[in-house]
Amino acid sequence: MGSTAVLSAILTLLAGIGIFLIACQMMSSNLEAASSEKLKHLFAKASKNKLLGVGIGTLGTAAIQSSGATTVMTIGFVNAGIISLSQAATIIYGANIGTTITAQIVALGMFSGGGLSTTVIFSACAGLGAFMSLFSKKSNLKTWGGILAGFGMLFVGLSLMSGSMKDFAALESVKIFLASIGNPILLVIIGAIFTAIIQSSSVMTSIALAMVVSGLITLDQGIFLTMGSNIGSCVVAIIAGITSSKNAKRTALIHLIFNCSGVVLFMLVSYLMQAFSGGRLGYGLIFEGAFPGAPQTQLAMFHTFFNLITVICMLPLTDLLVRLVVRMIPEVPELADPNAPRLHFVDNNMLKTPPVAVEQTKKEIVRMSTLAMDNFNRALRIVSTLTFTEKEQFEKTENEINYINRALVDFVVKLSEQKSISEHDHVYLATTYRTIRDLERIGDYAENILEYSESMAEDGKGFSDDAIMEINTLQKLVSELYSFAVKAYEDEDFEALKQANAVEEKIDDFTKMMEDNHISRLSAGVCTPKVGSQYLSLSSNVERIADHLVNVAKSIRSLQIA
């Protein structure tokens, strides 16, 4: 084979890797969009139950075909304080099991009988999926077309990689070179480095499968390369954890220790088998006996077996592992103020899994609404009593509302740019800008009410008892409206929206009655003109707060159209 043929084989391998990577990305993004609602509910069930955490990680990774995305999303959850380190650890365990699905699919596609090979049949799905994506008018069919096209392209890339391996296998010098790499540790290091470079253990495992099937390397060599790919896959999590909180860094370290522990365990067992059998027994021999005549299945099944056994061994040690990483990355005094405003439910790491990020965005908005209503109630208590003990907390909450207003809008902009978002979620994200603004305005009106109380305190004049009773009644009506508005917003409940509208009408009628009562009190000399103007302004501000709450609830009408 001449230099031209060698160059052609190298270029073909690069082309195959490129197509395989794009196919993985296509499948991942479209699977996320298709299973967005299920993913949201799935990761919302993360609990202290370790087995449930493993199941969530396994199913989530199998659904989106990316252990990297699952791990990065888990780091985002830890960074936001939504799940604990122990919960994160078990989800990561499951992600390692779920990622073996790709190797099983690739192995299945490598079978060929007397007629058409499964690779050719599966590759044809790329064309079928492309037609669905291009010519279908329904968004869900476009999404499934993208999944099918990505699935087919996996095997187009695999076919190119396998073809290049056959070309390399024809080179005696290549065979001799690869045969000389028999050191298991060196093979693990090569697998780790290559996986770290391309940031995909699925590609590394698929290349190893193609090399084993073509006879370029032995099954044992492929096994150690695959073990190394598990270590290399930790790079994605490490990158995500570097710029995040202490707990996020610890989560990335848990992922690294877990995968390294599995490799160390299997390497020790391998050396013991070699020692006691005089070098005759190894993993390759065991899996060749278990699945004779199918090298692709032998390596794929080892990959699954490796991750299952590692999880079984590490699961009882989870609490110990958590304590270890906490000691390795201890808490130290930070320059940043721990009480500084922050987003509690979203994190940039969650952009890797948009469907879950959308659900967390809704939680952040509901939290913002709670803060706005807390300040509204504080302002009414202060204006009614002219007691300012809550003023400091009011100002702190107002700063937090303003921070969320800016930071959450920035996050939603980034989230909206992600490709794997369903049409429903796109429409929802479009409504969030106004919703966030509505809630920020509620905070501003509460601030106005606080200013009225400060002005009255300076003059030494407060509201009459009758006026305070009316303010208390108005406060109860707004609280009732808030309950219906949040229920409508969270659950897309149109019955709750109808009830919110009804309460808002009551508030309009009540504020008009307040104006009439104020005129009567003014005529009777019960209150002064200046205090009366503050009372009317308060009434007007509360009415506008009610309008903004109803706007939040009404945002679900756009989702009905979607």
Averages of pLDDT over runs of 10 residues in the chain (562 residues) are: 72 82 72 60 61 81 70 72 81 88 78 59 82 80 82 78 70 71 90 82 82 87 91 78 74 90 94 86 89 89 93 91 89 59 82 81 94 95 92 94 94 86 85 95 94 87 86 94 95 93 94 85 71 86 94 88 52
Neighbours of 120 (CB within 10 A): 14
Give yes or no: residues 441 and 322 share one domain. no
In a domain, 237, yes or no: yes
CA 195, CA 207: separation in Å to the nearest integer?
A: 11
Give yes or no: residues 82 and 29 share one domain. yes
Q: Which of 297, 328, 359 is the last residue in one of the domains?
A: 328
Using CB atoms within 10 A of its CB, is residue 531 exposed (0-12), middle (13-18) or buried (19+)?
Answer: buried
In a domain, 340, yes or no: no
In a domain, 99, yes or no: yes
In a domain, 268, yes or no: yes
DSSP string covering 483-542? HHHHHHHHHT-HHHHHHHHHHHHHHHHHHHHHHHHHHHHHHHTSS-HHHHHHHHHHHHHH
Cβ–Cβ under 8 Å, residues 60 and 39: yes
Quick: pLDDT tens for 418-432: 877 778 888 999 999
- Alpha-helical regions (H) of 99-138: 100-109, 118-135
Give yes or no: residues 297 and 380 share one domain. no
Write down the pTM of the prediction.
Answer: 0.67
Give yes or no: residues 296 and 392 share one domain. no
Neighbours of 446 (CB within 10 A): 26
Closest CA to 421 of 356, 502, 332: 356
Q: Rounded to a whole number, what is the distance in angstroms from the first to the last CA of the chain?
A: 59
In a domain, 320, yes or no: yes
Quick: pLDDT tens for 526-551: 677 777 788 888 999 999 999 999 99
Give yes or no: residues 362 and 312 share one domain. no
CA 518, CA 528: separation in Å to the nearest integer?
A: 10
* Tally of structural domains, the chain: 2
Residues 6+ apart with CB under 8 A from 439: 365, 368, 369, 372, 401, 405, 548, 552
In a domain, 226, yes or no: yes
Give yes or no: residues 90 and 175 share one domain. yes
Give yes or no: residues 211 and 128 share one domain. yes
Query: Rounded to 5, what percent of the chain is helix, strand, coil?
Result: 85, 0, 15
In the 8-state DSSP scheme, what is residue 349? Answer: G
Type of residue numbered 537? S
Neighbours of 336 (CB within 10 A): 7
The domain spanning residue 525 has which CATH number? Answer: 1.20.58.220
Q: Which of 266, 295, 328 is the last residue in one of the domains?
A: 328
Give yes or no: residues 423 and 463 share one domain. yes
Give yes or no: residues 76 and 176 share one domain. yes
Give yes or no: residues 143 and 251 share one domain. yes
pLDDT at position 227, please? 93
Give yes or no: residues 372 and 508 share one domain. yes
In a domain, 333, yes or no: no
Q: Which of 328, 361, 382 is the last residue in one of the domains?
A: 328
Both tokens of 242, joined, read 């570097």
Give yes or no: residues 549 and 495 share one domain. yes
Classified as helix, coil or strand, 112 is strand
In a domain, 335, yes or no: no
Buried b / exposed e along 261-284 (16+ C-beta atoms within 10 A):
ebbeebeeebeebeeeeeeeebbb
Q: Domain residues for 556?
A: 348-561
Buried b / exposed e along 58-97 (16+ C-beta atoms within 10 A):
bbbbbbbbbbbbbbbbbbbbbbbebbbbbbbbbbbbbbbb
Whether the CA torsion 373, 377, 382, 388 is positive or negative: it is negative
